[in-house]
Amino acid sequence: MEFDFTRVLGQARAKNVLKKITLENNIPPFLMFIGPEGVGKATLALEFAKALNCENEEKRPCSNCNTCRLMSQFQHPDLYILTPNPEESIEKMRITGELRTDLYDPTKDIKINEVRELERELWKSGTYIARYRIVIVLNGENLNRESQNALLKTLEEPPPETIIIFVVSDLSRILETISSRARKIFFSYLEFKDFKNYPFTLTNKISLPLLFRLSNGSIGVAKRLLGSETIRKRKDIVEALLTADFKKLALVFEDLKSERKEMLNFVDFYLSLARDLLVIEVSDEKLINHDLKVELRKLRNKTTPEQIHHMFIQGAKSYRNIRRNANKEAVLYPLLLPFYPHSFRDIVKL
């Protein structure tokens, strides 16, 4: 039997593990797909669900049989998707035909009521028409402690013919009692040879190699970056840091949308600058923002190692603030502290 997971770029190791356990009929009831944001974890979870239940005996998933079509349309009675606000997000998935984590707000918790409703459904009856009933928990780390504990009994003794797949980017937020029960399958950032095969719509502001470096080989991050105000103003941001023009940076912040993805874009870019300020001491060739190397070298000459270290610390704090649903000012303005070492209140007054 042939397995066709070509809808997911790269990830040969993860694909081979799934093929092996399927051929050996040794499929664990609880799998955890672990890796960076936007590298194909959710898509491969859906393709694996289709492959396990595909009606074609020669190639799975065939994407043409009734089971594959229903699962692709998120209308199969034996496919369950657990997300924050599941009704709204699954409707968006049906419209786009894709299992994408950008179709809902991943900062929101998956509530215990949603977990209990899922468990009632799973224990109510067996499979309807498929070989296996598949549960895909997107952003499994968004299950709060109460929700994870509520799901524990089902993970310890899963219903028959049921496979639960956690899609996880931050394993540290999963309880040990949960993670220790899972068969873990790891995903990595894509190599450029795979990344370049995705049909991005590029602008004259960003080339494919630059997009690859900025996204670190994550298709999900790359799609988030395209059209971003942060990316359009990269040079302005670096020049403002170089001249200590914090009023100009404040105007940049005002122009940014108060959306989670735009704040993530800015923090990602900020941390790429911190990384480049370290790397430029050794070589220009390894820079993420290679097209800004002249400005970066000037900025490095004015920046101390302590300031660069502080940039990494502030970037990590801003990531945490985004996860806590902090407002734009609380996420972005503290990023200026390494360059303007006063209080948050002083920076806002600039």
End-to-end CA distance of the chain: 65
Peptide bond into 61 cis (omega under 30): yes
Q: How confident is the model at residue 103 (pLDDT cuts 50, 70, 90)?
A: low
What is the CA 300 to chain-centroid distance, rounded?
A: 31
Average pLDDT over residues 166-193: 94
217: left (phi over 0), alpha (psi -120 to 50) or beta: left
Region at 159 (left for phi over 0; alpha for psi -120 to 50; beta for the rest): beta
* Weakest-pLDDT range from 10-19, 76-85, 214-223, 273-282: 76-85
Mean pLDDT of 224-246: 86
Mean pLDDT of 208-222: 92
Banded pLDDT at 341 (limits 50, 70, 90): low
Task: Give me 254's structure tokens.
Answer: 């005002």
> Across-strand partners of 2?
59
> For residues 215 and 225, is the Cβ–Cβ distance under 8 A?
yes
Could you tell me the pLDDT band of residue 1, with boundaries at 50, 70 and 90? confident
Banded pLDDT at 306 (limits 50, 70, 90): very high
* Res 232: pLDDT: 85
What are the backbone angles phi and psi of residue 294, rounded to the nearest 5°?
-65, -50
Torsion sign (Cα): 140, 141, 143, 148: positive
Q: What's the rounded mean pLDDT across residues 72-83?
A: 90
Question: Using CB atoms within 10 A of its CB, is residue 92 exposed (0-12), middle (13-18) or buried (19+)?
Answer: middle
C-alpha closest to that of 280 among 291, 257, 296: 296
Note the Cα 338 to chain centre separation in Å: 28
One-letter-per-residue 3-state SS of 233-251: CHHHHHHHHHCCCHHHHHH
pLDDT of 316 higher than 90: yes
Q: How far is CA 8 from CA 21, 68, 209, 246, in A?
A: 18, 16, 20, 43
Residue 294 in contact with residue 280, Cβ under 8 Å?
no
Eight-state DSSP code of residue 186: E
